[in-house]
Copies of this chain bind each other. A is one copy, B any other.
Amino acid sequence: MGQFLADELTALGAEVEQRPLGKQPGKEHLELPPVVIARYGNDKNKKTILVYGHYDVQPALKEDGWATEPFELTIDEKDRMYGRGSTDDKGPVLGWLNVIDAHRKAGIEFPVNLLCCFEGMEEYGSEGLDDFIKVESKKYFKDTDAVCISDNYWLGTEKPCLTYGLRGCNYYSISISGPAQDLHSGVFGGSAHEPMTDLVNVLSKLVDPQGNILIPGLMDLVAPLTEEEKTLYPDISYTMDNLHESLGAETGIHATKERTLMARWRYPSLSIHGVEGAYSAPGAKTVIPAKVIGKFSIRTVPNMESEDVNKLVFDHIKAEFAKLNSKNTMDVWLQHDGKWWVASPKHWNFSAAGKAVKQVFGVEPDMTREGGSIPVTLTFEEATGKNVLLLPMGSSTDAAHSVNEKLDKRNYIEGTKLLGAYLHYVAEEPTV
């Protein structure tokens, strides 16, 4: 994918480099995929906009329940383009390439200098990218006036939005091991401590079915809800029907759209993703797994600091495991983390994007935050010291990270126009 992207950019007349990031930490036999960086245009009289995207995707197998081959783009009769990465994040990345292509074919001067930073490890915590950005912010990215990232989603399916906040994500593993190898449950059931029994007990102490996090002290880290902030929610164009449509079910926790949006944007959440090492196939296997690893993550918000969260998580899990009086051994560790981010929506970078939305879609965008984490957003802000804008292309029904991920053709085409119009309005914006 990195090579493909580099070839496409080169063909469009951009200066392109593939930068190696070294080995994957803890997996020294694996070379990290390269960062594809590019410059299109180098005119001192133009603003320079740095755009980011990623060419890697979440895992996908047809057996997971896909209606089509996940790695073959399939377009249905409603112009929905199905395929892993269609909306997260290959579609938006191609959007930027389409903008360059369109200007060349139409013979229109490109309004800004464009810097591209496309990585291949976003879905695994952007390993190696932070240091790269910090170093290049003084070098390859030094002319940057503002940053734009298209890697999130509209709140619903009709109205575009500009996003000025993101939750962070701390991803944890809990490992519990006992016997030297898997055991026959008939022979040893009742006479040996079972790691899976301990694990479900510990996992059940993390979050309740209503989404309340049970880790003592964690909620005390959350910035209180102000009266002013409260007033932002009623005007957002979002309904409980939007939630139910994207869930494909009416299993929402909260009664109102306001509380639902707050739960997604400004409160933390804890999700249990699965168990590694236990029996996970269909059918029946009478095994006592010898070692099981539970995976869960916490979505973080202002003002939760990762180190504080880790300490509360580790202390709580160690205390809960100790209560079990099990002879098995437990270990818990942070697999990766990314900090939350909140930006200023008053900046010209956002104004330009607002005008572009009006131009292309004829509506004022919603100003939103996101539940998902894009850690690199904060890295760009801190490294460049410039404003960062999130300008989504896909809609809430795109099913990123799950089966049958798709991007509507309308979002792809109008979204490409949006990215182009944004660059033109950026060029017109007063920079002070």
The smallest beta-carbon distance between A75 and chain B, in angstroms, is 19
- Please state if A186 and B209 are interface contacts (CB–CB under 8 Å): no
- Please state if A275 and B278 are interface contacts (CB–CB under 8 Å): yes
- Please state if B269 and A275 are interface contacts (CB–CB under 8 Å): no
Q: Which residues of B contact A402 (CB under 8 A)?
A: 181-184, 287, 290
So how many copies of this chain end up in the complex?
A: 2
- Please state if A180 and B247 are interface contacts (CB–CB under 8 Å): yes
* Cβ 8 A contact of A271, one of B185, B297, B327, B328: B185
Per-residue CB contact flags for chain A residues 139-179 toward chain B (1 = under 8 Å, else 0) read 00000000000000100000000000001010100000011
Size of interface on A: residues with Cβ below 8 Å to B:
97
Whose C-beta in chain B lies nearest to the C-beta of A266? B190
| A400 and B187 in contact, given A192-B247, A196-B274, A325-B210 (Cβ under 8 angstroms) | yes
Per-residue CB contact flags for chain A residues 366-379 toward chain B (1 = under 8 Å, else 0) read 00001111000000
- Please state if A200 and B198 are interface contacts (CB–CB under 8 Å): no
Compute how far the CA of A201 lies from the CA of B202 in the bound complex, rounded to whole angstroms: 10
- Please state if B190 and A401 are interface contacts (CB–CB under 8 Å): no
For the residues of A in contact with B, the DSSP-based class is: loop
Q: Which residues of B contact A400 (CB under 8 A)?
A: 184, 187
The smallest beta-carbon distance between A359 and chain B, in angstroms, is 27
The smallest beta-carbon distance between A239 and chain B, in angstroms, is 13
* Cβ 8 A contact of A264, one of B59, B191, B249, B279: B191
- Chain A residues in the interface with B (C-beta under 8 A): 58-59, 64-65, 124-125, 153, 167, 169, 171, 178-194, 196-198, 200-201, 203-204, 207-211, 243, 246-254, 260, 263-264, 267-290, 295, 297, 299, 324-328, 335-336, 370-373, 396, 399-404
- Please state if A184 and B401 are interface contacts (CB–CB under 8 Å): yes
Q: Which residues of B contact A250 (CB under 8 A)?
A: 327
